[in-house]
Amino acid sequence: MRHRNRVKKLGLPVDQRKALMRSLATQLFLHGEIETTVTRAKVLVSFASPIVTYAKRGNLNDVRMASKRLYKVKTGQVIESAKGNPIEETVLRKIFAEIGPRYADRQGGYIRVLKTHRRRGDNTQMAIVQLV
């Protein structure tokens, strides 16, 4: 029985489940929306919402906490540093520079889950996860 157990296991061991959530959250912040199964989408909302809250506050500890939950992926855009040197933008910088200020006056509900079609192979309900 699973009384009072709140973690959705997704049929995966702990290390694979953490890697899956990190990957989904990184891609969500990189692209703005992703498509996945409904169960994974619901777990992703509880995993990625604190990252947006970290970005809203934006102090050094919040940057470190967010970097623990995301992969270090480059967005492909080039920005200028304070010294004028070109550097490649990362997902972490994008979250703290763009996404955090966008939700500064919002009190939660940063991520939307929209149910879509059923997957052809196994008839699993699919969902689109978007930043609001």
Q: How far is CA 61 from CA 34, 43, 54, 90, 103, in A?
A: 28, 24, 9, 18, 19
Global pTM value: 0.89
1 found inside a domain: no
44 found inside a domain: yes
Kindly report the length of the chain.
132
* CA separation for the pair 104, 98 (Å, rounded): 10
70 found inside a domain: yes
Q: How confident is the model at residue 7 (pLDDT cuts 50, 70, 90)?
A: confident
pLDDT, one tens digit per residue, over 29-72 is: 999 999 999 999 999 999 999 999 999 999 999 999 999 999 99
62 found inside a domain: yes
Bridge-partner residues for 33, per DSSP?
A: 130
User: 23: buried, middle or exposed (CB in 10 Å: 19+, 13-18, 0-12)?
Assistant: middle
9 found inside a domain: no
CATH number, domain at 88?
Answer: 3.90.1030.10
What total number of domains does the chain contain? 1
pLDDT, one tens digit per residue, over 80-91 is: 888 888 888 899
